Amino acid sequence: MSQPIGKVSLDDLESFLKRHAEEWDVEGLSSFEELLPPHRPVTVDELILTISLANQGEDHAYLFSMEMPPEEALEHMELDSIPEIDETGLEDFVIRFGKARDFLYVAPSMENVSNGFYVNLMPVELEETEEGDTDSTETETHPAITRMIVGNFKGIGPSQLCIDLKPITLLYGPNSAGKSSILHAILYAREILERRNLNPTTTAGGGDSIDLGGLSSFVHNHERGNWITLDFEFDIGDALIPSYALDRFRAYIGKEHGPVPVPDFAADIKSAGIELSIGWSELRKECYVAEYRASINGDFLASIRCDFGRREVELFEINVDHPIFRPGFAGPGAYCDSENDTLARYWLRMLRDDEDLEGKPIAITNQVDALPRWGMLLDLDLSKPGLFDEGASKPDFSTEALALTSALTQLAVGPGEILRDLLCGFCYVGPLREPPARNFVPSGSDERNRWANGLAAWDALYQANDDLVDRVSDWLGDSDRLDTGYRIQQRSIAELDLSSRLAAMLRSDSPLDELEDLGGLVAALPVRKQLDLVAKAGMRLQPHDVGIGISQVLPVVVLAMDKRVDFAGIEQPELHVHPFVQVGLGDLFISKLYDNPGSRLLIETHSEHLLLRILRRIRETNEGELNPATFPSVRPDQVAVYFVESKEGRTMVTPLRIDETGEFIDRWPRGFFEERAKELF
């Protein structure tokens, strides 16, 4: 029989654990779990640090083999004679039986050993793909906006402008051509869907950095009679289309009807589109959403229209022939076996086939304009004679009408809520980033409008864990990355009040180890965090003490490294930085694709250097020249390049396709990137 208890150094334990898994679950010994970070699983580094804290700095941990109960093992061994084992000997203590995930029983301290207490460490294994690797980027699905179409907004005219959003989308073109207008359209769409603010000056995403000036300023040609159109297509990914509650109707149904059958289409919605038309009412002197159009899986589904002058809102069109209404759409028997699922389809066919109702819109009450009320059922007037139960009225609403209302709400309104959430996550970084003041105090909340002036990046660094700070520091300082000449470090500084008792004690002549309560007084000192830029020579500097280029590029680096940011727009990331740094930005943006699968970066830039690096990486990927451990690969279908220009007072875009060799398939329009050739030749 192997030893029932063993002692191992923390270095050997750390090395052993890292060989088996990067992350671990922990069970048992609540006093130990309270010392761990709140998230599960934990990393090996977090685990070893917590064991060190639990055993008050002792450089060992203790293992139970579980070949006999702990109390029996203690009877067979003296505590002062527990043998020390090395990393190889740890294999004898791996649990080979019992619970499926049990792996190693560790007692952090001698006190735990004497009491027979231990924690169970369980490895968290990465799921393997069919090919046997652990890269999950190909199998994960994330919600993401894939296309935007804009009309009658700023310089964009009624003929509309279409942008396909790839993981990296680059906008090039002359000054004042309308590149920024594309980013501003996203901020405006967020105002509408999140805040129902149709006539904004400032925006939630742009803060004080953008002044839209109200509809009279940003409607095309300043003609308020033009309808602004904002159309977004997006993949649903692993987001869940909400199924709307019917609680406010249940009181009308009564026990005799039982529960309302609610069809749920969430699993069948893979992509969606929402188009908004925003108009101006001269009669009421205010903006309104004139039309809301929803598409599902590439096909039009329904539209809501508003006559704002008469305050009438109607479900104007329903595509009852949409594939999602066909039994078996998701596969054989997917719907046709369930009466509840086919119920809504039956009544949709009734709407289509009823001669009295064919082509007629359905009134919607309790809605200001065509924009639905999020989280609430459409209030449809379905009490038409002969459509549902004979004599059905509002207080005695039929279960059929409720099922139809629920289905139409999920299909028409649900995608709008997903789009709203995607737009709320949009981070806009403006062209002028503000360095933090010397007495900078970070915001205590996640204020995304502070990305506009760059201060959200400093907020993130002050509040970040070591991982984010280290990754940003590596990108700033490593020679094969941006190589700015600086790294960044976060320090915790205790502040001492010179009039305090502790200050008086420290000024006394008594030796420190004789001072009463010294440790407690030090622990009670207020602590603030400080960020230092550390030059290659080791000198610590504040952001105000270095060149303006660092304050401009650092927010771009933080945004790319911050895994909370999935959707962002950046204006002129290359501002005030050397061409070598601009080239490195190409690698930075490519790395975002792998740190944040499903992310979208929309970048307005004049940098030829940034583009050349991305084209080079596409070519190297195609030729198999990249070392994945150093530079991630990138394909042409992950990058979109648009040339934006103004023609006859209207903003136009030209897509420029890239082939697998990193060359452009389409010629650049006249007057861009020709300057270098003119100067050289």
Residues 6+ apart with CB under 8 A from 347: 387, 388, 400, 401, 403, 404
Q: Closest Cα partner for 638 from 236, 170, 77? A: 170
Counting residues of the chain whose pLDDT is more than 90, the rounded percentage is 44
Q: Where are the beta strands (DSSP E) in 165-227?
A: 168-172
Q: Which pLDDT value is given to residue 590? A: 96
**Average pLDDT, integer, range 462-491:** 91
Cα atoms found within 13 Å of the Cα of residue 44, Cβ hemisphere only: 15
Q: Which pLDDT value is given to residue 71? A: 62
Q: Is 674 helix (H, G, I), strand (E, B) or coil?
A: coil
**Contacts for 219-222 with beta carbons within 8 Å, 24 or more apart?**
219/152, 219/153, 219/280, 220/151, 220/152, 220/153, 220/154, 220/155, 220/156, 220/157, 220/158, 221/649
Is the pLDDT at 224 greater than 80? The verdict is: yes
Is the pLDDT at 136 greater than 50? The verdict is: no
Is the pLDDT at 3 greater than 50? The verdict is: yes
Q: Which pLDDT value is given to residue 32? A: 72
Q: Which pLDDT value is given to residue 101? A: 57
Q: Which pLDDT value is given to residue 414? A: 94
225-229, 236-240, 254-258, 600-604: which has the minimum mean pLDDT?
254-258
The first and second tokens of residue 631, run together, are 């530079």
Counting residues of the chain whose pLDDT is more than 70, the rounded percentage is 79
3-state helix, strand, coil in the chain (%, to 5): 35, 20, 45
Q: Which pLDDT value is given to residue 26? A: 85
Q: Which pLDDT value is given to residue 587? A: 95
> Which is more confidently placed, 311 or 102?
311
Give the model's confidence band at 39: pLDDT under 50 very low, under 70 low, under 90 confident, else very high.
Answer: confident
**Strands of 104-107's sheet in order across:** 42-43, 23-27, 119-124, 104-107, 60-64, 5-9, 84-85
**Average pLDDT, integer, range 192-205:** 95
Is the pLDDT at 495 greater than 50? The verdict is: yes
Question: How confident is the model over 284-315, as pLDDT tens digits?
Answer: 899 999 999 999 999 999 999 999 888 899 99
Determine the longest span between alpha carbons in the chain, in angstroms. Answer: 101
Is the pLDDT at 624 greater than 80? The verdict is: yes
Give the model's confidence band at 200: pLDDT under 50 very low, under 70 low, under 90 confident, else very high.
Answer: very high
Give the model's confidence band at 263: pLDDT under 50 very low, under 70 low, under 90 confident, else very high.
Answer: low
**Average pLDDT, integer, range 89-100:** 63
Q: What is the DSSP string of 125-142?
A: PPPP-TTS----TTT---
Q: Which pLDDT value is given to residue 28? A: 72
Instruction: Check residue 196 and give left, alpha or beta (phi > 0: left; psi -120 to 50: alpha).
Output: left
Question: Please, what is the average pLDDT of the chain?
Answer: 82
Q: Are strands 144-151 and 228-235 parallel, antiparallel or unpaired?
A: antiparallel
Instruction: Check residue 648 and give left, alpha or beta (phi > 0: left; psi -120 to 50: alpha).
Output: left
Q: Which pLDDT value is given to residue 335? A: 34
Q: Which pLDDT value is given to residue 348? A: 63
Is the pLDDT at 404 greater than 60? The verdict is: yes
Residues 6+ apart with CB under 8 A from 363: 312, 313, 314, 315, 380, 381
Is the pLDDT at 648 greater than 50? The verdict is: yes
User: So where are the chain's domains?
Assistant: 5-124, 144-421, 426-606
Is the pLDDT at 655 greater than 80? The verdict is: yes
Give the model's confidence band at 58: pLDDT under 50 very low, under 70 low, under 90 confident, else very high.
Answer: confident
Give the model's confidence band at 354: pLDDT under 50 very low, under 70 low, under 90 confident, else very high.
Answer: low
Is the pLDDT at 247 greater than 80? The verdict is: no
**Average pLDDT, integer, range 505-515:** 70
- Pick from 101-115, 339-353, 530-544 the range whose average pLDDT is largest: 530-544
Cis bond upstream, residue 41 (ω within 30): yes
Q: Closest Cα partner for 475 from 492, 466, 461, 487? A: 487
pTM: 0.74
**Average pLDDT, integer, range 392-403:** 56
Question: How confident is the model over 117-127, as pLDDT tens digits?
Answer: 778 888 886 44
**Average pLDDT, integer, range 104-109:** 82
**Average pLDDT, integer, range 42-49:** 83
Q: Which pLDDT value is given to residue 339? A: 42
Question: How confident is the model over 516-561, as pLDDT tens digits?
Answer: 677 777 888 888 888 899 999 889 998 888 888 999 999 999 999 9
Q: Which pLDDT value is given to residue 441? A: 83
Backbone angles phi, psi at 392, to 5 degrees: -60, 140
**Average pLDDT, integer, range 65-85:** 71
30-34, 340-344, 560-564, 656-660: which has the minimum mean pLDDT?
340-344
> Which is more confidently placed, 337 or 589?
589
156-160, 388-392, 418-422, 492-496: which has the minimum mean pLDDT?
388-392
Backbone angles phi, psi at 230, to 5 degrees: -130, 115
Question: How confident is the model over 137-171, as pLDDT tens digits?
Answer: 444 578 999 999 999 999 999 988 999 999 999 99
Q: Which pLDDT value is given to residue 138? A: 43
Q: How large is the C-alpha radius of gyration of the chain? A: 31
Q: Closest Cα partner for 273 from 242, 318, 232, 236? A: 232
**Average pLDDT, integer, range 587-598:** 91
CATH code for residues 426-606: 3.40.50
Q: What is the DSSP string of 94-106?
A: S--SSSTT--EEE
Question: How confident is the model over 432-457, as pLDDT tens digits?
Answer: 999 888 888 888 766 788 999 999 99
Is the pLDDT at 360 greater than 80? The verdict is: no
Is the pLDDT at 96 greater than 60? The verdict is: no
Residue with token string 């039994």: 327
**Strands of 527-535's sheet in order across:** 486-494, 527-535, 540-541
Q: How many helices (H) and strands (E) does the chain have?
A: 19, 24
